[in-house]
Structure 1
Amino acid sequence: MLRTFDIILITVMLAAATVTYKIKYDAGKRMAEIAKLQRKIDFEKDTITLLKADWSLLTQPNRLQKLVDIYQSELDLKPIDANQIVSIDEIPERPADDIENIISSSDELLASIKKTDQIKTGSVGQGR
């Protein structure tokens, strides 16, 4: 009887060791995934910070004024008068004929895009 009891205990210990190893392996795998995601999140946060700094640099009033002075003749910019700002209700509606012209011209544009999209360029993504 002692022998049967020993075999049962050894089997239970092996099963417990196997389950423990599997749980430990899965936990390590999850921790690696969490670390990878945390690195991605940190990278995205750094990218956002960099883009905010870049936006602040690009929208500085002095820089924009210099660009306006350089491209004044091409842009034909003029200061805004207070009476130019209106509410949504004051904007006239566009006639239906204009909308139909826009739709027909967009259909022509889509047709021309479909024609040019059929040209094979040999890009990296094709043929794989």
Structure 2
Amino acid sequence: MLRTFDIILITIMLAAATVTYKIKYDAEKRMADIRTLQRKINAEKDTITLLKADWSLLTQPNRLQRLTEIYQSELNLAPIDAKQIVSVGEVPERPADDIQNIISSSDELLAIINNAGTDTISTGSVEQGQ
């Protein structure tokens, strides 16, 4: 014969087991979420490392010098003169008709860009054949 006290103890024990199971299940779910986030973080770190390597490959001075020589006629680059360095307030505003000329010549610029030779260095961020 079960007494009331025994029934109360059994109920408390079942409630404690249920709470313990729920806490354990929630902890395992949180750990799975943490592992998923850690994998995503590691993948992003790998991507950042790859992009840094690509950037250092693309910004090598000898490569940039070679590209400058190839595209000298389109770029019209010249060494910087000390007189060219001014503050922002000293730069004159561009007239509105110049802006219209730039907008109208955008098709010509796109044609130049599309017809320009391609860079032969392939990097990890660019697939071959594109």
Q: Establish whether TM, by shorter chain, passes 0.5.
A: yes
Output one character per residue of 1:55-100: Cα deviation in whole Å (capped at 9) or x when no partner.
Answer: 11111100000111112222222222121121112112456xx39x
TM-fit CA distance, 1:33: 0.7
Matches within 5 A, 1:10-21: 10-21=10-21
| Aligned equivalent of 2:116 | none
TM-fit CA distance, 1:38: 1.0
| Aligned equivalent of 2:64 | 64
Aligned CA distance change for structure 1 residues 80 and 52 (closer, same or farther; 3 Å): same
- Inter-partner Cα distance in structure 2 for 1:6 and 1:67: 88
- Inter-partner Cα distance in structure 2 for 1:17 and 1:71: 75
Aligned CA distance change for structure 1 residues 34 and 55 (closer, same or farther; 3 Å): same
| Aligned equivalent of 1:77 | 77
TM-fit CA distance, 1:24: 0.5
Indicate the percent of aligned positions where both proteins have the same amino acid.
79
| Aligned equivalent of 1:88 | 88
Letter in 2 for 1:89: G
Output one character per residue of 1:35-61: Cα deviation in whole Å (capped at 9) or x when no partner.
Answer: 111111111111111111111111110
Matched residue SS, 2:54:
helix
| Aligned equivalent of 1:118 | none
Aligned CA distance change for structure 1 residues 93 and 77 (closer, same or farther; 3 Å): closer
| Aligned equivalent of 1:40 | 40
Letter in 2 for 1:20: T
- Inter-partner Cα distance in structure 2 for 1:47 and 1:67: 26
Q: Which runs of 5+ in 1 are unaligned?
A: 106-128
- Structure showing greater relative contact order (alpha-carbon pairs closer than 8 Å, 6 or more residues apart): 2
Which 10-residue stretch deviates more, 75-84 or 27-36?
A: 75-84
